[in-house]
Amino acid sequence: MLNVFVNLEEDGSYSLTTGGYVLFIALTVAVVLLGATLLSRKHKMDVKQLAFSAIAIALAVVTSNIKLIHMPMGGAVTLFSMLFITLIGYWFGFGAGLTTAIAYGCMQLVCGPYIISFPQLLVDYILAFGALSLSGIFYGKKLVLVNEVKNKSYTMYGIVPGYLLAVLGRYFFSTLSGVIFFGMYAPENFPNPVIYSMVYNGAYMGLEALITVVVIMIPPVAKALEAVKRMATEK
- Its pTM surpasses 0.95: no
**Region 133-155: what's the mean pLDDT?**
68
Q: What's the rounded Cα separation, in Å, for the pair 124 and 109?
A: 9
CATH code for position 88: 1.10.1760.20
pLDDT (0 to 100) of residue 230: 87
pLDDT (0 to 100) of residue 210: 97
Select, from the ranges 43-52, 95-104, 163-172, 224-233, the one with the highest average predicted confidence (pLDDT). Answer: 163-172
Kindly provide the b/e burial profile for residues 66-91, where b requires at least 16 CB atoms within 10 angstroms of the residue's own CB.
eeeeeeeebbbbbbbbbbbbbbbbbb
Sign of CA dihedral 67, 168, 24, 177: positive
Contact 134, 172 (CB under 8 A): no
The most distant pair of C-alpha atoms in the chain lies apart, rounded to whole Å, by: 69
- Domain count along the chain: 1
Reply yes or no on whether the pLDDT at 148 is more than 60. Answer: no
Query: Three-state secondary structure along 21-41?
Result: HHHHHHHHHHHHHHHHHHHHC
Read off the pLDDT of residues 99-141 as tens digits, 9 standing for 90 and up.
999 999 989 988 877 888 889 999 999 999 999 999 999 987 7
Structural domain harbouring 41: 2-233
